[in-house]
Copies of this chain bind each other. A is one copy, B any other.
């Protein structure tokens, strides 16, 4: 698949914003002690954030506290989407824990109530919800259904995509790096990087259409039919590509023409984070065949789901069925219901839009003359800042991003980075992030940017 392959930037094998274990001796003694203890029990598969990892003991709203009582502004965690330790979620979980926590093989009314409310946030075409515990499980199930329904195996993803960690899902998550090989049935297309894409003759949309056509043709040449195109609707791990809206449409048209399904992975952009709509795909004016949701859904209580066009489940439901022991259990649903209620009652969508717009416009303003800032982009409270070595080459600058992330961390502002080269600052705070919180963030970033000049 020469067209697409040419454009792939090989994701680095090391984790973006990961602590380098080789530098353990440079840390304060108490931290060293607990990291050694961690290494002994949890082993080398676990990673920590930041050059100087954090020991967190408490969280409230958009604030995290370390063991010395220091406060950190959380501009990173999307799981506690309605804020750390939100009283409504705490209370809902507590009530439910005192009452019942059981599985979906008994009838329970709350899951019906929640499912109906949840489905009402989706286009009418998406009529069934199936619950899992994690976004990975939701994507795993979505792909199982896609393969079953189409009878095909081929999967198309973007070059820096991340969809999860099961054996199946990691086989179509190129951002995991070369240590985790893509499946022989997986093809990658370019991320929708409008900043770096440049052509006088072919629009980005047409380029993406062409990429998908090539991927499909290559799959066919290998005797593989198309099961699905799956994409995070804001391309989080690719580097946060929120616009121009509409670029997903030609991709979906090509996939459908080839008999495949379009799976919208809303695990990251979902539940109103993008500010304009409940779901990221809605910004592109398209209707997925399957949607997967997760992270923010239960504010930290593990719950996730896949939403389907009902016709996709007729045979799968009959012949395969699906039972997830903890998936959608009583407590998970109670947490999810509380999150849904809070998002509505605290008007977190308009807040995400307003505060997000403010952050983007002010960041743009004060980074205008910072050569290493190529672009500030995003939607709502999902914002990326693309750092480069210089604006003429637009060469990704991962080390500048690492520097900024760690400089902010020292200033007690927590962000991270993403993108194939780790060069995109990722701002993705809990959704009750206020205008004042934005001010503190912006002040910190302006200061951090001075180190780049």
The residue from B107, B317, B329 contacting A34, defined by CB atoms under 8 A apart: B107
Best-buried of A100, A105, A167 by chain B (most CB within 10 Å): A105
In the complex, what distance in Å separates the CA atom of A319 from the CA atom of B43? 13
The digit string for A1-29, where 1 denotes a CB below 8 A from any CB of B, is 00000000000010100000000000000
Query: Which of the 9-residue segments A129-137, A217-225, A248-256, A342-350 touches chain B?
Result: A129-137
Interface residues on A, range: 35 or more
Query: Which of the 9-residue segments A283-291, A300-308, A378-386, A443-451 touches chain B?
Result: A300-308
In the complex, what distance in Å separates the CA atom of A85 from the CA atom of B102? 10
The digit string for A132-161, where 1 denotes a CB below 8 A from any CB of B, is 011111001101100000000000000000
CB A197 to nearest CB in B, in angstroms, measures 30
Query: A23-54: which have CB < 8 Å to B?
Result: 31, 34-35, 37-38, 40-49, 53-54
Indicate if A358 sits at the interface (CB-CB under 8 A): no
In the complex, what distance in Å separates the CA atom of A141 from the CA atom of B168? 11
The residue from B99, B119, B176 contacting A58, defined by CB atoms under 8 A apart: B99
The residue from B84, B103, B111 contacting A101, defined by CB atoms under 8 A apart: B84
Query: Which of the 9-residue segments A87-95, A419-427, A431-439 touches chain B?
Result: A87-95
Q: A97-B94, A143-B167 are in contact. Are A133 and B79 (CB under 8 A)?
A: no
In the complex, what distance in Å separates the CA atom of A439 from the CA atom of B329? 30
Q: Which residues from B are CB-within-8-Å of A70?
A: none
Q: Which residues from B are CB-within-8-Å of A53?
A: 106-107
Best-buried of A80, A128, A316 by chain B (most CB within 10 Å): A128
Q: A137-B166, A144-B167, A167-B140 are in contact. Are A54 and B321 (CB under 8 A)?
A: no
Q: Which residues from B are CB-within-8-Å of A13?
A: 319
Does the CB pair B90–A300 fall under 8 Å?
no
Indicate if A295 sits at the interface (CB-CB under 8 A): yes
Q: A137-B137, A165-B323, A302-B326 are in contact. Are A97 and B90 (CB under 8 A)?
A: yes
Q: List 6 A-B contacts (CB under 8 A).
A: A43-B317, A46-B104, A48-B105, A64-B106, A135-B325, A301-B331
- Name A residues whose Cβ lies closer than 8 Å to a Cβ of B: 13, 15, 31, 34-35, 37-38, 40-49, 53-59, 64, 77, 79-80, 84-85, 89-90, 93-94, 97-109, 111-112, 115-116, 119, 127-130, 133-137, 140-141, 143-144, 165-168, 170, 176, 179-180, 294-295, 299-303, 308, 310, 313-314, 316-327, 329-332
Q: What are the 6 tightest A-B residue pairs by CB atom distance, in nearest-first order?
A: A44-B317, A43-B128, A167-B168, A41-B115, A101-B300, A302-B326
